Amino acid sequence: MTVAIVGDIGGTHARFAVWRDNGLEQIEVLATADYSSPESALAAYCERAGLSLGAGSAVCLACAGPVSDGDFQFTNNHWRINRAAFCRALHIERLLLINDFAATALGVTLLEPNERLAVRAGHAQADRPVVVIGPGTGLGAANLLPKGAGEWQALPGEGGHVDLPIGSESEAELWLLLHRQFGAVQAEDVLSGAGLLALYAVVCQRNGQPAQHANAAQICAAALQGESLATNALEQFCVWLGRVAGNHALSLGARGGVYIVGGMVPKFADFFVRSGFAAAFADKGAMGDYLADVPVWLVTAPYPGLLGAGVALQQAG
Protein backbone atom coordinates (compact mmCIF):
# COMPACT_ATOMS: atom_id res chain seq x y z
CA MET A 1 0.00 0.00 0.00
CA THR A 2 1.55 3.33 -1.05
CA VAL A 3 -1.40 5.76 -0.96
CA ALA A 4 -4.27 5.95 1.49
CA ILE A 5 -6.42 8.52 3.24
CA VAL A 6 -6.26 8.96 7.01
CA GLY A 7 -8.55 10.88 9.28
CA ASP A 8 -8.68 11.90 12.93
CA ILE A 9 -12.23 12.81 13.96
CA GLY A 10 -13.04 14.29 17.34
CA GLY A 11 -16.03 16.08 18.74
CA THR A 12 -15.26 19.42 17.09
CA HIS A 13 -12.88 18.86 14.19
CA ALA A 14 -12.26 16.27 11.48
CA ARG A 15 -8.68 16.17 10.22
CA PHE A 16 -7.88 14.41 6.96
CA ALA A 17 -4.67 13.77 5.04
CA VAL A 18 -3.15 11.62 2.32
CA TRP A 19 -0.83 8.97 3.76
CA ARG A 20 1.94 8.34 1.26
CA ASP A 21 5.41 6.87 1.75
CA ASN A 22 5.08 6.90 5.55
CA GLY A 23 4.20 10.58 5.72
CA LEU A 24 1.30 13.03 5.69
CA GLU A 25 0.35 15.22 2.73
CA GLN A 26 -2.48 17.65 1.95
CA ILE A 27 -3.72 18.04 5.52
CA GLU A 28 -7.12 19.70 5.95
CA VAL A 29 -9.11 20.45 9.12
CA LEU A 30 -12.91 20.61 8.83
CA ALA A 31 -15.54 21.49 11.44
CA THR A 32 -17.78 18.51 12.16
CA ALA A 33 -20.74 20.85 12.71
CA ASP A 34 -20.53 21.91 9.05
CA TYR A 35 -21.27 18.42 7.68
CA SER A 36 -24.16 16.03 8.12
CA SER A 37 -22.02 12.90 8.08
CA PRO A 38 -18.43 11.66 7.92
CA GLU A 39 -19.07 10.65 4.29
CA SER A 40 -19.93 14.22 3.33
CA ALA A 41 -16.90 15.57 5.19
CA LEU A 42 -14.51 13.14 3.53
CA ALA A 43 -16.06 13.85 0.12
CA ALA A 44 -15.48 17.57 0.75
CA TYR A 45 -11.88 16.84 1.71
CA CYS A 46 -11.32 14.88 -1.50
CA GLU A 47 -12.71 17.76 -3.53
CA ARG A 48 -10.46 20.28 -1.76
CA ALA A 49 -7.44 18.03 -2.20
CA GLY A 50 -8.18 17.42 -5.89
CA LEU A 51 -8.74 13.70 -5.33
CA SER A 52 -11.38 11.62 -7.03
CA LEU A 53 -13.54 9.37 -4.87
CA GLY A 54 -11.74 6.09 -4.43
CA ALA A 55 -8.33 7.66 -5.12
CA GLY A 56 -7.14 6.12 -1.88
CA SER A 57 -8.34 2.52 -1.87
CA ALA A 58 -7.81 2.29 1.91
CA VAL A 59 -9.02 4.69 4.58
CA CYS A 60 -8.22 4.68 8.28
CA LEU A 61 -10.31 6.88 10.54
CA ALA A 62 -9.37 7.54 14.14
CA CYS A 63 -12.72 8.07 15.85
CA ALA A 64 -13.66 9.53 19.22
CA GLY A 65 -15.34 6.71 21.12
CA PRO A 66 -15.19 2.93 21.63
CA VAL A 67 -14.77 1.03 18.35
CA SER A 68 -16.40 -2.37 17.76
CA ASP A 69 -17.37 -4.45 14.72
CA GLY A 70 -20.79 -2.82 14.39
CA ASP A 71 -21.86 0.68 13.42
CA PHE A 72 -19.85 3.44 15.08
CA GLN A 73 -21.54 6.29 16.94
CA PHE A 74 -19.25 9.20 17.75
CA THR A 75 -19.16 10.12 21.42
CA ASN A 76 -19.05 13.91 21.16
CA ASN A 77 -20.73 14.74 17.87
CA HIS A 78 -23.79 13.74 15.82
CA TRP A 79 -22.04 11.50 13.28
CA ARG A 80 -22.46 7.74 12.77
CA ILE A 81 -20.61 5.29 10.50
CA ASN A 82 -21.96 2.19 8.84
CA ARG A 83 -18.91 0.58 7.28
CA ALA A 84 -20.62 -0.88 4.20
CA ALA A 85 -22.54 2.31 3.41
CA PHE A 86 -19.43 4.42 3.93
CA CYS A 87 -17.38 2.34 1.49
CA ARG A 88 -20.14 2.36 -1.12
CA ALA A 89 -20.61 6.12 -0.92
CA LEU A 90 -16.90 6.90 -1.25
CA HIS A 91 -15.82 4.05 -3.57
CA ILE A 92 -13.46 2.69 -0.94
CA GLU A 93 -12.27 -0.91 -0.88
CA ARG A 94 -11.13 -0.97 2.73
CA LEU A 95 -12.09 1.00 5.83
CA LEU A 96 -10.25 0.66 9.14
CA LEU A 97 -11.73 2.33 12.23
CA ILE A 98 -9.65 2.76 15.38
CA ASN A 99 -10.15 4.69 18.59
CA ASP A 100 -8.85 8.25 18.28
CA PHE A 101 -6.64 8.00 21.32
CA ALA A 102 -5.25 4.67 20.22
CA ALA A 103 -4.23 6.48 17.03
CA THR A 104 -2.76 9.38 18.97
CA ALA A 105 -0.82 6.92 21.11
CA LEU A 106 0.64 5.29 17.99
CA GLY A 107 1.39 8.73 16.63
CA VAL A 108 3.58 9.74 19.55
CA THR A 109 5.92 6.89 18.66
CA LEU A 110 6.87 8.85 15.53
CA LEU A 111 7.50 12.22 17.20
CA GLU A 112 10.65 14.17 16.50
CA PRO A 113 12.51 15.57 19.55
CA ASN A 114 11.30 19.10 18.77
CA GLU A 115 7.66 17.96 18.76
CA ARG A 116 7.43 17.43 22.50
CA LEU A 117 8.11 19.63 25.51
CA ALA A 118 9.49 18.25 28.78
CA VAL A 119 7.09 18.85 31.66
CA ARG A 120 8.58 16.50 34.22
CA ALA A 121 12.12 15.13 34.11
CA GLY A 122 12.75 11.41 34.34
CA HIS A 123 14.12 8.38 32.58
CA ALA A 124 11.87 6.54 30.13
CA GLN A 125 12.36 2.77 30.29
CA ALA A 126 12.10 1.45 26.75
CA ASP A 127 10.57 -1.88 27.79
CA ARG A 128 7.78 -0.43 29.95
CA PRO A 129 4.28 0.87 29.09
CA VAL A 130 3.42 4.44 28.17
CA VAL A 131 0.33 6.51 29.03
CA VAL A 132 -1.14 8.98 26.51
CA ILE A 133 -3.80 11.31 27.90
CA GLY A 134 -5.19 14.69 27.01
CA PRO A 135 -8.10 17.11 27.31
CA GLY A 136 -9.96 18.55 24.34
CA THR A 137 -13.67 18.35 23.56
CA GLY A 138 -13.52 15.42 26.02
CA LEU A 139 -10.75 13.72 27.97
CA GLY A 140 -9.08 10.91 26.07
CA ALA A 141 -6.70 8.26 27.32
CA ALA A 142 -4.87 5.29 25.80
CA ASN A 143 -1.89 3.11 26.62
CA LEU A 144 1.08 1.81 24.68
CA LEU A 145 2.60 -1.59 25.35
CA PRO A 146 6.05 -2.42 23.94
CA LYS A 147 6.11 -5.36 21.54
CA GLY A 148 9.85 -5.34 20.98
CA ALA A 149 11.91 -4.33 17.95
CA GLY A 150 10.67 -0.76 18.30
CA GLU A 151 7.02 -1.69 17.78
CA TRP A 152 4.11 -0.79 20.06
CA GLN A 153 0.58 -2.00 20.64
CA ALA A 154 -2.00 0.69 21.41
CA LEU A 155 -4.68 -0.16 23.97
CA PRO A 156 -7.68 2.17 23.81
CA GLY A 157 -9.94 2.67 26.78
CA GLU A 158 -12.35 5.09 28.38
CA GLY A 159 -9.99 6.42 31.01
CA GLY A 160 -11.38 9.92 30.66
CA HIS A 161 -14.47 8.72 32.50
CA VAL A 162 -12.75 7.59 35.70
CA ASP A 163 -13.84 9.31 38.91
CA LEU A 164 -12.28 12.70 39.59
CA PRO A 165 -9.77 12.25 42.45
CA ILE A 166 -9.76 14.50 45.53
CA GLY A 167 -6.37 15.40 46.98
CA SER A 168 -7.04 18.29 49.37
CA GLU A 169 -9.76 20.00 51.41
CA SER A 170 -9.96 22.74 48.79
CA GLU A 171 -10.53 20.17 46.07
CA ALA A 172 -13.17 18.48 48.23
CA GLU A 173 -15.06 21.77 48.43
CA LEU A 174 -14.95 22.17 44.66
CA TRP A 175 -15.91 18.52 44.17
CA LEU A 176 -19.04 18.99 46.30
CA LEU A 177 -20.12 21.91 44.13
CA LEU A 178 -19.44 19.86 41.01
CA HIS A 179 -21.33 16.90 42.47
CA ARG A 180 -24.43 19.04 42.89
CA GLN A 181 -24.23 19.74 39.16
CA PHE A 182 -23.13 16.38 37.73
CA GLY A 183 -23.88 13.76 40.34
CA ALA A 184 -21.00 11.31 39.95
CA VAL A 185 -18.08 13.54 38.92
CA GLN A 186 -15.93 12.09 36.15
CA ALA A 187 -12.49 13.36 35.21
CA GLU A 188 -13.84 14.54 31.85
CA ASP A 189 -16.38 16.75 33.66
CA VAL A 190 -13.44 18.98 34.60
CA LEU A 191 -10.61 18.03 32.23
CA SER A 192 -12.09 19.17 28.91
CA GLY A 193 -13.13 22.42 27.27
CA ALA A 194 -16.60 22.33 28.81
CA GLY A 195 -15.03 21.01 32.02
CA LEU A 196 -12.78 24.02 32.43
CA LEU A 197 -15.86 26.23 32.14
CA ALA A 198 -17.63 24.15 34.81
CA LEU A 199 -14.56 24.31 37.05
CA TYR A 200 -14.28 28.08 36.62
CA ALA A 201 -17.96 28.46 37.51
CA VAL A 202 -17.57 26.61 40.82
CA VAL A 203 -14.35 28.50 41.63
CA CYS A 204 -16.34 31.72 41.18
CA GLN A 205 -19.24 30.29 43.22
CA ARG A 206 -16.95 29.32 46.10
CA ASN A 207 -15.49 32.83 46.11
CA GLY A 208 -18.88 34.51 45.98
CA GLN A 209 -18.13 36.17 42.64
CA PRO A 210 -20.07 36.12 39.36
CA ALA A 211 -18.53 34.28 36.44
CA GLN A 212 -17.17 36.68 33.83
CA HIS A 213 -16.24 34.27 31.04
CA ALA A 214 -18.37 32.08 28.79
CA ASN A 215 -15.92 29.51 27.37
CA ALA A 216 -12.57 27.83 27.91
CA ALA A 217 -10.72 30.12 25.49
CA GLN A 218 -11.79 33.22 27.43
CA ILE A 219 -10.82 31.61 30.74
CA CYS A 220 -7.36 30.66 29.43
CA ALA A 221 -6.80 34.16 28.02
CA ALA A 222 -7.84 35.77 31.31
CA ALA A 223 -5.62 33.41 33.31
CA LEU A 224 -2.61 34.20 31.14
CA GLN A 225 -3.28 37.88 31.82
CA GLY A 226 -3.26 37.23 35.58
CA GLU A 227 -6.96 37.48 36.37
CA SER A 228 -7.30 35.87 39.81
CA LEU A 229 -10.32 33.56 39.52
CA ALA A 230 -9.44 32.44 35.99
CA THR A 231 -5.87 31.76 37.13
CA ASN A 232 -7.13 29.73 40.09
CA ALA A 233 -9.38 27.69 37.83
CA LEU A 234 -6.67 26.98 35.26
CA GLU A 235 -4.17 26.09 37.99
CA GLN A 236 -6.66 23.64 39.52
CA PHE A 237 -7.27 22.23 36.03
CA CYS A 238 -3.54 21.49 35.72
CA VAL A 239 -3.38 19.98 39.21
CA TRP A 240 -6.33 17.69 38.56
CA LEU A 241 -4.84 16.63 35.24
CA GLY A 242 -1.68 15.75 37.16
CA ARG A 243 -3.63 13.64 39.66
CA VAL A 244 -5.52 11.78 36.92
CA ALA A 245 -2.41 11.23 34.77
CA GLY A 246 -0.50 10.00 37.82
CA ASN A 247 -3.30 7.56 38.64
CA HIS A 248 -3.16 6.16 35.11
CA ALA A 249 0.63 5.87 35.24
CA LEU A 250 0.50 4.13 38.62
CA SER A 251 -2.21 1.69 37.49
CA LEU A 252 -0.38 0.75 34.28
CA GLY A 253 3.14 0.84 35.63
CA ALA A 254 3.95 3.39 32.92
CA ARG A 255 7.64 3.82 33.51
CA GLY A 256 8.00 4.37 29.78
CA GLY A 257 6.62 7.86 30.34
CA VAL A 258 3.46 9.90 29.95
CA TYR A 259 2.44 12.08 27.00
CA ILE A 260 -0.04 14.94 27.38
CA VAL A 261 -1.84 15.51 24.09
CA GLY A 262 -4.91 17.24 22.73
CA GLY A 263 -5.84 20.71 21.59
CA MET A 264 -6.13 22.50 24.93
CA VAL A 265 -2.89 22.34 26.89
CA PRO A 266 -0.48 23.52 24.14
CA LYS A 267 -2.38 26.83 24.14
CA PHE A 268 -1.10 27.55 27.66
CA ALA A 269 2.08 25.47 27.57
CA ASP A 270 4.27 27.82 29.64
CA PHE A 271 1.60 28.12 32.33
CA PHE A 272 1.24 24.33 32.35
CA VAL A 273 4.95 23.69 32.80
CA ARG A 274 5.05 26.10 35.77
CA SER A 275 1.82 24.78 37.31
CA GLY A 276 1.28 22.23 40.06
CA PHE A 277 0.84 19.45 37.50
CA ALA A 278 4.19 17.77 38.17
CA ALA A 279 3.77 17.80 41.96
CA ALA A 280 0.21 16.47 41.74
CA PHE A 281 1.31 13.75 39.31
CA ALA A 282 3.48 12.12 41.99
CA ASP A 283 1.33 13.01 45.01
CA LYS A 284 0.58 9.36 45.78
CA GLY A 285 1.70 9.05 49.40
CA ALA A 286 3.87 6.00 49.93
CA MET A 287 3.76 5.24 46.19
CA GLY A 288 5.10 8.62 45.14
CA ASP A 289 8.58 7.14 44.82
CA TYR A 290 7.27 4.69 42.22
CA LEU A 291 6.60 7.64 39.90
CA ALA A 292 9.70 9.62 40.85
CA ASP A 293 11.59 8.86 37.65
CA VAL A 294 8.61 8.78 35.23
CA PRO A 295 9.01 11.55 32.62
CA VAL A 296 6.08 13.56 31.27
CA TRP A 297 6.04 15.36 27.92
CA LEU A 298 3.58 17.77 26.34
CA VAL A 299 3.09 16.92 22.68
CA THR A 300 3.36 19.99 20.46
CA ALA A 301 3.12 18.15 17.11
CA PRO A 302 -0.10 19.28 15.41
CA TYR A 303 -1.40 15.94 14.05
CA PRO A 304 -0.30 12.91 16.10
CA GLY A 305 -3.67 11.23 15.49
CA LEU A 306 -3.21 11.36 11.73
CA LEU A 307 0.28 9.92 12.07
CA GLY A 308 -1.11 7.14 14.25
CA ALA A 309 -3.85 6.36 11.74
CA GLY A 310 -1.15 5.86 9.14
CA VAL A 311 0.80 3.60 11.48
CA ALA A 312 -2.38 1.59 12.15
CA LEU A 313 -2.86 1.03 8.41
CA GLN A 314 0.71 -0.13 8.06
CA GLN A 315 0.43 -2.55 10.97
CA ALA A 316 -2.86 -3.92 9.62
CA GLY A 317 -1.03 -4.81 6.41
pLDDT in tens, 24-49: 999 999 999 999 999 999 999 999 99
What's the rounded mean pLDDT across residues 238-267? 96
What's the rounded mean pLDDT across residues 124-140? 93
Which residue spans of the chain are classified as CATH 3.30.420.40?
Answer: 3-105+303-316
pLDDT at 259 over 50: yes
pTM of the complete model: 0.88
At the top level of CATH, the class of 114-300 is: alpha beta
Percentage above 90 pLDDT, the chain? 79
Q: What residue type is assigned to position 307 of the chain?
A: L
**12 marked as part of a ligand binding site:** yes
- For strands 3-9 and 72-73, give the pairing: unpaired
> What is the layout of strands, in order, in the sheet containing 139-148?
116-120, 296-299, 258-260, 130-135, 139-148, 151-156
pLDDT at 107 over 60: yes
What's the rounded mean pLDDT across residues 118-128? 95
**8 marked as part of a ligand binding site:** yes
- Give the pLDDT of residue 55: 74
Q: Choose from 154-163, 227-236, 281-290 the range with maximum mean pLDDT.
A: 227-236
3-105+303-316: what fold? Nucleotidyltransferase; domain 5 (3.30.420)
| Count of all residues that appear for the chain in the document | 317
End-to-end CA distance of the chain: 8
Angle at CA of residue 280, ends 276 and 284, nearest 5°: 160
- Give the pLDDT of residue 67: 87
**10 marked as part of a ligand binding site:** yes
Q: pLDDT for 297-313, tens place per residue? A: 999 999 999 999 999 99
Which residue spans of the chain are classified as CATH 3.40.367.20?
Answer: 114-300
pLDDT at 280 over 60: yes
- For strands 58-63 and 3-9, give the pairing: parallel
- Give the pLDDT of residue 1: 44
Percentage above 70 pLDDT, the chain? 99
Q: pLDDT for 48-74, tens place per residue? A: 999 988 777 799 999 977 888 888 988
**7 marked as part of a ligand binding site:** yes
Which residues, 6+ apart, have CB-to-CB distance to 110 below 8 Å? 304, 307, 308, 311
